[in-house]
Structure 1
Amino acid sequence: MKFVYSLAFASLILFTACKKEKSWEVDVKEQNVQLNIHDISQDFFNDSISLDTLRKDYPFFFDAKTADDVWESQRRNKEELSIYGQSRKIFGDFKNLNHTLIPIFQRYQFYFPEYKIPTIYTYSSGLQNIDYPVMFSQQSGLMFIAMDAYLGAKNKLYDSIGVERYLRTNLDLNRLPSQAVDAIANDVVTFSPRNQLFIDKMIYEGKKLILQDALLTDTPDEYKVGYTPEQIQWCIDNEGQIWNFFVEQNYVFSSDASLDKRFLVLSPFSKFNNEIEQDSPGRIGAWVGLQIIRQYIKENPKVELKTLLDDMDGQKIFKDSKYKPALESNNLANYTTKTIDGKVYHFVK
């Protein structure tokens, strides 16, 4: 059945290998962060709470065009109740969520002291928002987390709606911190519509990903970029060849918008139009953008994070980064590795 989850609040949003002088290890002990976490669905599925009360408490949650009897039917829908029940088993009493998010927002407050700490709202989306499970608005001071997007890649609920294999990598609770930072980055990292060259767009994606380096500690690149360990290893092994391909095809300074779908959007693999493409992960241009930003910071270790994200022109960043990976070598020396659940994950030094 089609669930009613147009969610009025959605309109609020959808808008390092460094030199020793530069480190993301900052002292945040003085950053006093207390998070307010509210579970919308706990109240929504409690039929002793009236719709009028729910609308008053969560005005952003309700589509005014939807009739009351539709909402009431949804509140009693067994399938939705089951999805929510499984979600709450994963999230528990939210102590772990609070523990996970506080360090992120301590660092967020350190780097962006003028920004307010958001109120956190969790909810069950009826499996509708698993593609973009975290939404954030700095201006409104709100963050929304779809709990049913973290049930585990092998959960049968995802089988029931035909979630493709490549999308399942992030459907696990250990990926939530990176997706929370990604939602923050989508809101706070500026992009000028005048900057339409492929290099501009790669740098923009790199800026959003560098925020992961700044706000997350002891987090593997796999989580930050949304890749598997095998995909990160492929990128490391082939970085020089990837860049050489972009250069030889005259893509770097191209304004061809079709490159977005080939190399920047979420997809099962990047479209090189040759025999190796299905070995590649999607969004390879975003990963390259991250390497360019990291190289820029290595060359300019005193750059302030907010200046880098807000004011710096992408083409200037590229030029000053001196980015030119060797064709036959990789940057594995820039990483340390740890084995997690039998797989080797990559942590930038």
Structure 2
Amino acid sequence: MNRIRLGLIAFLMVWMGSCQKKTEECTLDAELLGEPLELEITRLEDEFFQAKTPLDFAYLLEKYPEFADQFLEQDLYLSQDSLISNLVQVHGDPGLRSLYDSVKVEFEDLSWLETDLENAFRYIRFYFPDFKAPKVYTFVSGFGSDLLVSEDMLVIGLDYFLPSDHSFQPDLPIYIAERYQREYLVPMVVLAISSRYNQTNPQDKTLLSEMIYYGKSYHFVKSILPCTSDQFIIGYTPEEIEECWANEEYIWSHFVENELLYETNPFEIRKYIGEAPFTDAISTKAPGRLGRWMGWNVVDDYRMNQQVDLAVLMGEPDAEKIFRQSEYRPRRPE
């Protein structure tokens, strides 16, 4: 495999070069979307903010036991009375009620979310017939939790997804907070669901294994949401995506020249996989998590070349096999 050896200086010189990624026409499968699927979004924020007395909250905890157990984590409290006392106090806080009012204004209508989730769940069920749509709840947690995704229940903390210019914002680094927009919401949900089907080899502690794991996750989301921009799947800006494609060969050469694919040092792996504003091991102009993006490219090539079903891809735990059979080669800028 011939690779062009380039140092950091050369990389920095070409990094800002541009390459327009081709966009393909996208249409959803009308027949698949016509399959019946029942989904109803229950707006728990309304019920909890309308509650006033301990008796009101006790009723809600009994009405939604899964929510009380998994989201409110009532087992962590000394007693249910202790949880109820906390809920009464929290929901009487003027700041939280103001946040709730803001959410009600911004998300008065959730028909778009219901439609997008229904479509996503239909696609998942097509590839994985055992999939059952979970109960869907929304909530305002005061930035306590953004998403809870289990087999039976999905809880969405709507306060996390207020517009970026809103006065209420979660206490997150800017490069992460920028991804908490409504366009990212359904891709985040699908990404979380992907872990249910993403089989791995727990003995494989290499960077390659991490790259392939995330590559399979992003490929899953793109397969379930085929008309969704890569921006809302991986969380790069369009400009960052364009620059990554323009410099794919140089990014890949960094992994190869530094013999990183079989690296097992978790501190080294984190440089390329972990959340960060940029991948400084390559360049401060390179977006973070570049190892995940490279893994996505490898997985795309594997599925294209091997023509396997999505369920087969997700059930393949051998990262080395996926890498070898992908016959991955960086695309050259046009």
- Evaluate the alpha carbon distance shift between residue 322 and residue 103 of structure 1 in structure 2; reply closer, same or farther with a 3 A threshold: same
Partners of 1:70 and 1:134 in 2: CA distance: 21
Partners of 2:128 and 2:63 in 1: CA distance: 29
1:137 aligns with 2:143: no
For 1:69, the equivalent position in structure 2 comes to 85
Which one of the candidate residues 251, 268, 274 is aligned to 1:259? 268
Helix, strand or coil at the partner of 1:170: coil
Q: Could you give the per-residue CA deviations for residues 38-86 of structure 1, whole angstroms, max 9, x where no partner exists?
A: 1222111112571211111222333241623222111111111111221
Helix, strand or coil at the partner of 2:328: coil
For 1:316, the equivalent position in structure 2 comes to 321
Q: Give the number of the structure whose alpha-carbon radius of gyration is greater.
A: 2
Is the 1:24–1:214 Cα contact (8 Å) retained in structure 2? no
For 2:35, the equivalent position in structure 1 comes to 31
Unaligned runs of 5+ in 1: 1-15, 18-22, 333-349
- Evaluate the alpha carbon distance shift between residue 298 and residue 234 of structure 1 in structure 2; reply closer, same or farther with a 3 A threshold: same
The CA deviation at 1:24 is 8.8
The 5 Å alignment of 1:90-129 reads 90-129=106-145
Which one of the candidate residues 49, 52, 58 is aligned to 1:52? 58
For 1:8, the equivalent position in structure 2 comes to none
The AA in structure 1 aligned to 2:321 is: K
- Evaluate the alpha carbon distance shift between residue 153 and residue 124 of structure 1 in structure 2; reply closer, same or farther with a 3 A threshold: same
Partners of 1:203 and 1:27 in 2: CA distance: 32
Q: What is the percent sequence identity of the aligned residues?
A: 26
For 2:165, the equivalent position in structure 1 comes to 154
Is the 1:88–1:147 Cα contact (8 Å) retained in structure 2? no
The CA deviation at 1:128 is 2.6
Helix, strand or coil at the partner of 2:168: helix
Partners of 1:269 and 1:26 in 2: CA distance: 40
Is the 1:206–1:287 Cα contact (8 Å) retained in structure 2? yes
The AA in structure 2 aligned to 1:104 is: A
For 1:339, the equivalent position in structure 2 comes to none
For 2:284, the equivalent position in structure 1 comes to 278
Partners of 1:199 and 1:26 in 2: CA distance: 37
Is the 1:40–1:58 Cα contact (8 Å) retained in structure 2? no
Unaligned runs of 5+ in 2: 1-20
Is the 1:91–1:97 Cα contact (8 Å) retained in structure 2? no
For 1:213, the equivalent position in structure 2 comes to 222
Partners of 1:271 and 1:261 in 2: CA distance: 11
Q: Could you give the per-residue CA deviations for residues 287-332 of structure 1, whole angstroms, max 9, x where no partner exists?
A: 111100111122112x011111013411101000111215xx23x7
For the aligned residues, what is the CA RMSD? 2.2
Helix, strand or coil at the partner of 1:323: coil
The AA in structure 2 aligned to 1:78 is: P
The CA deviation at 1:25 is 5.5
Partners of 1:58 and 1:127 in 2: CA distance: 21
Helix, strand or coil at the partner of 1:187: coil
For 2:240, the equivalent position in structure 1 comes to 231
The CA deviation at 1:164 is 2.4
1:240 aligns with 2:249: yes
Q: Could you give the per-residue CA deviations for residues 234-254 of structure 1, whole angstroms, max 9, x where no partner exists?
A: 211111111110111110112
Helix, strand or coil at the partner of 2:138: strand
Is the 1:31–1:109 Cα contact (8 Å) retained in structure 2? no
The CA deviation at 1:216 is 0.3
Tell me how many residue pairs correspond in the alignment. 298
The CA deviation at 1:267 is 1.5
The 5 Å alignment of 1:178-193 reads 178-193=187-202
The AA in structure 1 aligned to 2:150 is: S
Judge which range, 175-184 or 84-93, deviates more: 84-93
